[in-house]
Structure 1
Amino acid sequence: GKRSGRVYDIPLVRDAEAHFIPQHRSRLECTACHSQWVVRCPGCHVSMKLGQDKLDLKIAPPMQVQQPALMIGPRGKVAPMLAQPERHFSLLDEKGNPVPVLGPTGEHHGEYQEWPFTNPHNASGSNLAYSLNPHSTGPKVRTCESCHLSSKTLGLGEGDLSIGANNTGENDSLIPLNHSDERIKASKFDPEAKVSMRGEILAGSHQLKARPFNQKEIVRILKVGNCIPCHDQYDDPVYQDIKKSYAFEKTMKHRKMREKILNLEQTQP
């Protein structure tokens, strides 16, 4: 309980066959798989100019929902992410022109026109990510592919994902589909990216211990995606001891089994 700290053992959750993957039991919040949707934020935020005495709410975009991206929550487990849209700062003078950005000694750094900024913790203040319970929990769960084969779910943004031959992540890369930030020289990443393939955190958060995935976690999650095309059932035995399964994957026996399956699929009409 939140107040007492007492742990309540729920047989329905504890004994369900769908919760037998060891890594899922120890590393995931229930909401990571069972949240049906999370809201997008633009519908709650509007712009206002100096001298304007009231807001025109008719121009606010409608509220939208989407499948949650994931991150590490305050309790150290994988949880849904409230992925905030980029919020850049614009400061205009009385004529509507952007005010120059000046350094401590008067050096010119640009203009306050869609300017990215940092928060007091020296993390991004224009690119934010928060862990939350979106209160959309249901019996239906997301697919394995939606986590283990999705760059967007991992907070990398949308793009063409390239996985290197080794499993260190050093040669992994992502070419974003949206190049708008790259064109204005704001960033080489997708505008909605919260972390890079190298595990570099791009998004700020005020939540204690909450963060996007690091490189080791990204590599580990994507590595499971290699197994899913053949082992697409949640109760598949290979997921009970993933280290043992990875060791078997390197053997000649597994290679011959895989080639046999692939050849069989190619010969079938």
Structure 2
Amino acid sequence: MKKKQLTYFTLSGVIFLIGSFVIIDSFVLKKEIVSIPVSEEKCLTCHTDMGDPSPFHPIAAYGCVMCHLGNASTDDKDDAHEEMLVNPSDLNHADLTCGKCHNDILHNVRNSIMTNNAGLVASTLYQWDERISPDDTSLHINELPDTSLATSHMRKLCAGCHVNKLENDLPGETGTRGGGCNDCHLVKAGTEGKHSTFSVQMDIPVCEKCHNRSDRVGLTYQGKFESEGYGTPYEHGNTSSMELSNGRYFYQITPDIHYEAGMVCIDCHIAEDVMGDGKKYTHLELAVHIKCEDCHQMKTARPPADNIVWRMIEVNSNLQLSPDSTFAKTERNSFYANVFMEDEDVVLIRKLDGQKLIIPQNKNRPECQMPGHEKMSCQACHSAYTPQCYGCHDVYDPTKKQLDKVSYEETYGHWSEGRSYLRFEKPTLGIDNLGRIIPFAPGCQVYMTELDDDLQIKQQKTWLTMAPYDPHSTRKNVATCIDCHGSIKRFGLGEGNVQFKDGLFTTQQIYDAPSSGLGNFSLETMIDENGEIPQKMSRKTARPFSLDEIKKIYRVSLCITCHDSYKDKIYKDFDRSIEYFKSKKNKACQNYFSHSR
């Protein structure tokens, strides 16, 4: 199936709205320029009782042609529908439609990582040893050549999840994605003959339709733990009703605390996060403007009159705020449309229902400011668990065909995938590309098998990668001190037990990796007891803790039993405290500190 090419002759590219007249001076549909009053458009003689797309797009003011093109001066169906656009928001021709009024947003969306998937593409090529760096803003998922195993894999398994894929092109969840602006803003009409509507009040399912695989943040936020796929526990002789897309199932566990407060994704993520800010970014975390501190250590300012935040307020009836309001501001000088000062309180308005929430402020907390915690992200302590999908087994069969989601053609080369196991457990911690201590998870751990034409193994490759990210499992009750300082999994040494003597670590891991056939280390291991790093990191400068850093983290665990308060004076200068304990020959501490190096 090939995408239809539309041909237009662009003149001034200007749309004038004069009373009830819309003069379109921007295209020729192989005929003369159409310029008629909206009141004389003949579309509604057939399409009766359509309804307005939104309060801000009334048909009486804008008509039909401004968005859908076509020829509204005739009541002949074929002539009227010639080169008409069913979906005006497709980014391939949005200059002629949505971009006439929203040109700045269109520019941002086209450059956004939600459209080009540059981070996904670059990271995959880097992981599969086809690039020396995971950082490249020039890449675009729709422009990938089918020239290698890595690009074939992405075109067939990964290209179904970006803003500008064709909508309704495939069955199931994949077909609900894409379509340009419609991908997020369209609410389909429930009645035949009615016009679908536009909304800026997107509920969680709009985001979840894409963000339910890989890092699974759309699931984790709601407390959905993807199970191993057996459909248990069975219900009345059938599989579980707690079902995800593509035959997957989930268990309900504790959700993110913000979800419990009735907040949806757009209550935190601002316009620049989702639609972009016009710049091209190598990775998602660089494109996101917001931070926890924006709300919980809020700094306010009054946005400039031309800032997009005022448009966000205008089009959401739940956000009718005073022009004199001061709003939460990010480090990049972007603003939250729904977080502001009200009297002495920091208030968030939920965008879907207008409910106000008071945001607790978290300033000068000793556990956040104490020496050694300077680089700790909020997620390092407040993430209750992390979805961890270990071992992605990809098999390439050259004898079968599979849909290429870029060319929309069935081509030879079929990918099938499975996994070793899935866990929702405490996260491994490491240092991300921004220098923060943050949770890590598999991203991805590929065991690739390429078959030949006789279905014999041609080659096998293993590319194991760990990735930093925010799990979206935030809870108020955090991990205890010993949960981090006494856990070798948190250190990155893998799940198990540890002994430390004469300056050396000896670990005993729970998972018997050699017997599993998956390698010589457990799959959560980011660094081993000898200081070797057995996996790649998905970011060039991200890394596990070094052994020296792990020793410093671990030695605190021996003091926590007695010194269990952040305010304890021994933590003000911990190195000095250790020297003090050594000099006093304190037996309780001597077992460790006499051997430390």
TM-score (norm 1): 0.69
Q: CA–CA distance in 1 between the matches of 2:565 and 2:499?
A: 25
Shift of 1:253: 5.9
Distance 2:589 2:332 in 1: 52
Q: Deviations over 1:48-82 (max 9, x none)?
A: 65326589x9x889975222110001221211112
Letter in 1 for 2:442: A
Q: 2:538 aligns to what?
A: 206
The Cα shift of 1:141 comes to 1.0
Paired residue for 2:364?
Answer: 15
Determine if the alignment matches structure 1 residue 90 to structure 2 residue 427. Answer: no
Residue among 160, 178, 181 paired with 2:514: 181
Q: 1:42 to 1:215 in 2, by over 3 A?
A: closer
Correspondence for 2:582 among 243, 250, 267: 250
Distance in 1, Cα, partners of 2:538 & 2:589: 47
Partner of 2:567: 235
Which residue does the alignment assign to 2:467?
Answer: 130
Q: Is the 8 A contact 1:182 1:189 kept in 2?
A: no
Aligned to 1:32: 380
CA distance in 2, matches of 1:66, 1:139: 17
In structure 2, what is the equivalent of residue 267 of structure 1?
A: none
Q: 1:140 to 1:182 in 2, by over 3 A?
A: same
- SS of the equivalent of 2:439 reads strand
The offset of 1:229, in angstroms, is 2.4
The 5 Å alignment of 1:19-168 reads: 19-24=368-373, 26-41=374-389, 47=394, 50=397, 51=400, 53=402, 64-84=423-443, 86-99=445-458, 112-113=459-460, 115-116=461-462, 126-166=463-503
**Which of 521, 524, 529 matches 1:192?**
524
Q: Does the residue aligned with 2:566 lie in a helix, a strand or coil?
A: coil
Q: CA deviation at 1:42?
A: 5.7
Q: 1:62 to 1:206 in 2, by over 3 A?
A: closer
Q: Secondary structure at the match of 1:197?
A: coil
- The alignment yields a C-alpha RMSD, in angstroms, of 3.5
Q: Secondary structure, in 3 states, of the residue corresponding to 2:476?
A: coil
Counterpart position of 1:106: none
Structure 1 partner of 2:272:
none
Equivalent residues of 2:492, 2:544 under 8 A apart: yes
Cα distance in 2 for residues equivalent to 1:15 and 1:183: 48
Letter in 2 for 1:157: G
3-state secondary structure, aligned to 1:152: helix
* TM-score normalised by length of structure 2: 0.34
Measured in 2, the distance between the counterparts of 1:226 and 1:91 equals 49
Shift of 1:146: 1.8
Whether contact under 8 Å (1:127, 1:194) holds in the other structure is no
Query: Which residue in the other structure is 1:3 paired with?
Result: 332
Contact 2:390 2:445 in 1 (8 A): no
Whichever residue aligns with residue 510 of structure 2, its letter is L
**Higher RCO, Cα 8 Å, sep 6+:** 1
Q: In the alignment, which residue of structure 2 is the partner of 1:109?
A: none
Contact 1:181 1:191 in 2 (8 A): no
Counterparts of 1:60 and 1:187 in 2: how far apart (Å)? 15
Q: Any runs of at least 4 consecutive aligned residues in structure 1 with deviations exceeding 4 A, and if so which? A: 45-49, 52-55, 59-64
Give the secondary structure class of the aligned counterpart of 1:41: strand
Name the structure where strand makes up a greater proportion of residues.
Answer: 2
3-state secondary structure, aligned to 1:248 = helix
Q: CA deviation at 1:32?
A: 0.8
Q: Per-residue displacement from partner, 1:162-214 (whole Å, max 9, x unpaired)?
A: 21134xxxx22223332333775x74322331111233222212314211111
Consecutive unaligned residues in structure 1, runs of 5 or more: 100-111, 117-125, 260-269
Letter in structure 2 aligned against 1:193 = T
Q: Which amino acid aligns with 1:40?
A: Q
Distance of 1:16 and 1:219 partners within structure 2: 25
Task: Work out the CA distance in 2 between the residues paired with 1:130 and 1:180.
Answer: 20
Structure 2 unaligned residues grouped into runs of 5+: 1-329, 335-358, 404-413, 591-597
Structure whose alpha-carbon radius of gyration is higher: 2
The range that moved more, 157-166 or 46-55, is 46-55
Confirm or deny: 8 A CA contact 1:69 1:83 kept in the other structure: no
In the aligned structure 2, how far is the partner of 1:173 from the partner of 1:193?
14
Q: Does structure 1 retain, via aligned residues, the 8 Å contact 2:494–2:526?
A: yes
Q: Does the CA-based 8 Å contact 2:389-2:419 persist in structure 1? A: no
